[in-house]
């Protein structure tokens, strides 16, 4: 008998995948966690029935959420990732030679544990000496670390359940205070096609806090609609027009390029209209 999983994040649409086997399934303190091996996309991390990342297309999300802010900042030395227990953002961050320390703050230690066992290609940098792993509440962590980080990446699940507090104006004000005077923050901010009001709300909340706020898009096949938004809030730098002088080219990337960096901020009209 064929095994399939169906992700029904959107009320009236679903994405369905044929599965070879379930590698792990457990109820953690915070969520239902599964890692499965699929025929089309390889191993997949699934939290509360929602696909978070897959071996086949994870490079798009992790490269774009990491390299856009890190190439925008003049010299990022200390970076915080809130969420992101799979380790993919940490892997990309540590490719930048200026980075001296990357902190992963993940509320669910089981995600880190299982990804290190089953998604080693993604979690491979979590044991790097420049990486500090903190298992705990990201909101509390941000509140307790003022003026400390050059870049903060909010690599959260969707804005429901355990991750709901990681979206919205009050948290973005805390992030602003946690950043250095020229700091940058970025968050994944959902699909403008299926969840336009979420995208609009989160963008407006960030715009109320940060002097420079921009939204960009990337093509991620496993996310609903296949076209995903990210919101950047910056105290100083314009992420759409970064200064690349003195920046090294990172070998081995599969999606991000310096041309893609600026082009990603060119939005379809329906997304532009959404943000007005």
Which residues sit in the known binding site? 31, 62, 86, 106, 137-138, 155-158
CA dihedral 202, 205, 208, 209 (to 10 degrees): -90
Residue numbers in the known binding site for S-methyl-5'-thioadenosine are: 31, 106, 137-138
Q: Of 48, 108, 150, 155, which residue is the catalytic one?
A: 155
d(CA 210, CA 174): 12
What the block records as the tokens of 23 is 């590698």
d(CA 269, CA 168): 25
155 noted as active-site residue: yes
State phi, psi for 211 to the nearest 5 degrees: -60, -35
Is the separation of the CB atoms in 25 and 34 below 8 Å? yes
**Comparing C-alpha atoms, which of 202, 230, 203, 180 is closest to residue 73?**
180
Please give the positions annotated as active site. 155
């Amino acid at each position: 008998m064929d095994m399939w999983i169906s992700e029904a994040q959107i009320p009236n649409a679903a994405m369905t995948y044929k599965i070879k086997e379930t590698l792990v399934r457990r109820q953690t303190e915070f969520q239902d966690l599964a890692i499965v091996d699929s025929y089309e996309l390889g191993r997949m991390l699934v939290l509360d029935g929602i696909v978070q990342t897959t071996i086949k297309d994870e490079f798009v999300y992790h490269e774009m959420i990491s390299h856009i802010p890190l190439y925008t900042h003049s010299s990022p030395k200390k970076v915080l990732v809130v969420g992101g227990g799979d380790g993919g953002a940490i892997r990309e961050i540590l490719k930048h030679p200026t980075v001296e320390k990357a902190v992963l703050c993940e509320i669910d230690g089981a995600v880190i544990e299982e990804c290190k066992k089953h998604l080693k290609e993604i979690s491979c940098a979590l044991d790097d000496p420049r990486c500090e792993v903190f298992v705990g509440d990201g909101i509390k962590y941000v509140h307790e670390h003022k003026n400390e980080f050059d870049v903060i990446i909010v690599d959260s699940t969707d804005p429901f359940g355990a991750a709901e507090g990681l979206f919205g104006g009050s948290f973005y004000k805390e992030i602003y205070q946690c950043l250095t005077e020229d700091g940058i923050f970025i968050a994944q901010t959902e699909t403008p096609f299926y969840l336009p009001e979420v995208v609009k709300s989160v963008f407006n909340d960030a715009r109320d806090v940060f002097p420079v706020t921009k939204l960009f898009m990337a093509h991620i096949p496993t996310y609903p609609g296949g076209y995903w938004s990210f919101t950047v809030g910056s105290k100083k730098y314009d992420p759409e027009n970064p200064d690349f002088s003195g920046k090294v080219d990172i070998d081995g990337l599969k999606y991000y390029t310096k041309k893609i960096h600026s082009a990603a901020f060119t939005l379809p009209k329906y997304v532009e209209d959404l943000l007005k």
